[in-house]
Structure 1
Amino acid sequence: MMEISIIFKIAALGIVITVLGQVLKHSGREEMTFLLSLAGLVIVLFWIVPYISELFKAMQDMFSL
C-alpha cells in the first residue's frame, strides 16, 4: 500500500527544485537549472520505482492462472 508521505515528499522536493531553479535562472545559469530538474526527476523515480514494481507483482498475481 502506498503511503501518503511519499506524496508529501515529492511535493516538497518539487517546491524546493522550483525555488532553486528560479534562483539559478535569474543568476544566468540555465544549464544548472536543467541539471537540477534532471536530478529531481531521478530522485523521484528512485522513490517511485519500488511502488511500480509492487504494482506489477500484484497485477501478475491477480492475472496468473
Structure 2
Amino acid sequence: MQVDLIFKIAAIGILVAVFNQLLIRSGREEQAMMTTLAGLIVVMMVLVQQISNLFTLMKSVFGF
C-alpha cells in the first residue's frame, strides 16, 4: 500500500474537520454538512480509482 495515499486521505480529513468546525462556529450548519459530504465524496473517488487500478493490475497479472 502506498503511504502517500494514506497521507492524502488524512490531509483531506483534517481539512474537512477544520472547515466543518469553522462553519459550525459561525452558525452555518448546512454548509458544514455540505463540506463534510464533499470531503467524503472526494475520498471515495480516490479509493474507487485505486480499486480500479488494482483490478487492472490483477487482470494483467492473471491474463484475463
Rounded to whole Å, the distance in 2 between the matches of 1:10 and 1:16 is 10
TM-score norm. by structure 2 comes to: 0.78
Partner of 2:18: 19
Q: Matched residue of 1:28: which SS? A: coil
Q: Which runs of 5+ in 2 are unaligned?
A: none
Percentage identity across aligned positions?
47
Q: How many residues get paired?
A: 64
Q: Using CA pairs under 8 Å that are at least 6 residues apart, name the structure with larger relative contact order, 1 or 2.
A: 1
Q: Which runs of 5+ in 1 are unaligned?
A: none
Rounded to whole Å, the distance in 2 between the matches of 1:9 and 1:51 is 13
Rounded to whole Å, the distance in 2 between the matches of 1:20 and 1:52 is 28
Report Cα offsets for 1:26-59 as digits up to 9, x if no partner: 0000000000001001111111112222445567
